[in-house]
Amino acid sequence: MMESQKFTEGEFYQERFDPGAYNDMLYSGLQGHSDEQNFITFILQRLSKTFSGGKYRGRTLIDVGSGPTIHSVISASKYFDEFVLSDYTDRNRKEIEKWLKAEEGCFNWKPVIQYVCELEGRSPSEVESELRQRVKRVLKCDVRLENPFHPLNLEPADCVITSLCLEGACKDTETYSRALRSLRALLRPDGALVMVGVLGETFYTVAGQKFSCLSLTQSNIEDLLKNLGFTVQEFNVFQPQDKDITLSDSEGVFHLIALKSVN
């Protein structure tokens, strides 16, 4: 992993992260970037299985570190009344807001929504409408803070999602553990934490710009969650075969579901 003092934290993202290039690279086609094989479809399929049965539902879902994307909440759109999306950088939040308002030049999420709807037997137009109606706020967040939404204090949510965020925001295991603790505080007792992330990755690139990443193992993550009072319900891993390392050095992508203890 890169030395801590060189780790590309939030301020670096504010200056250098290109949301348009990121979305084009990963979400313009269902297979994602050729270097990453079909990890995007893995993520969409796992999120669909998580939510489509209606087991996890409620009033509020918070997506922490949405980036410039909406993919994490497509399958959940039917089962929660209100969504809060969030990110550290101004440009990423603006990208989400452009889509919510259907502004000219917003990213085309129709192929991704269509794919999810084919999995679930739903209408793409209805899902788009649900999302645009139910996303109530797009907030600035910083997962390095005890309260990521400071100075706002959000009501405890029924579900918290974070996708492809914490590893890029946390320079060391201590910071990562604190971030998980802050996510726990956002949940009601017995609420569900749904995470998507990468394993064994130290860097990834967007439009030629390299961003650092905290290298983690499955056991690292499970131990941290257990120590914080979570019960891991599922831990699924996708490992691309014959992977080039020009885009990242990831060893795999994971999806997990963990429940917050009632104590």
Residue 247 has pLDDT above 50, yes or no: yes
Strand ranges for 3-49 from DSSP E: none
The verdict on whether residue 87 carries a ligand-binding annotation is yes
Mean per-residue pLDDT, 144-171: 97
For residue 42, what is the domain's CATH number? 3.40.50.150
Does 143 show up as a binding residue in the annotation? yes
188-224: pLDDT as tens digits: 999 999 999 999 999 999 999 999 999 999 999 999 9
Q: 12 lies in which domain range?
A: 4-260
Torsion angle, alpha carbons of 126, 192, 93, 169, to 10: -150
* Residue 27 known to bind ligand: yes
Nearest to 149 by CA among 240, 61, 86, 89: 86
80/61 Cα distance (integer angstroms)? 6
How many folded domains does the chain comprise?
Answer: 1
* Burial class of residue 214, CB neighbours in 10 A (0-12, 13-18, 19+): buried
pLDDT for residue 243 is more than 70: no
Q: Is 236 annotated as a binding residue?
A: no
Question: pTM for this one?
Answer: 0.94
- Does the annotation place 242 within a ligand binding site? no
pLDDT digits (tens, 9 = 90+) for 90-101: 999 999 999 999
Residue 154's closest CA among 191, 128, 129? 191
Tell whether residue 142 is among the known ligand binding residues: yes
Res 30 pLDDT > 80: no
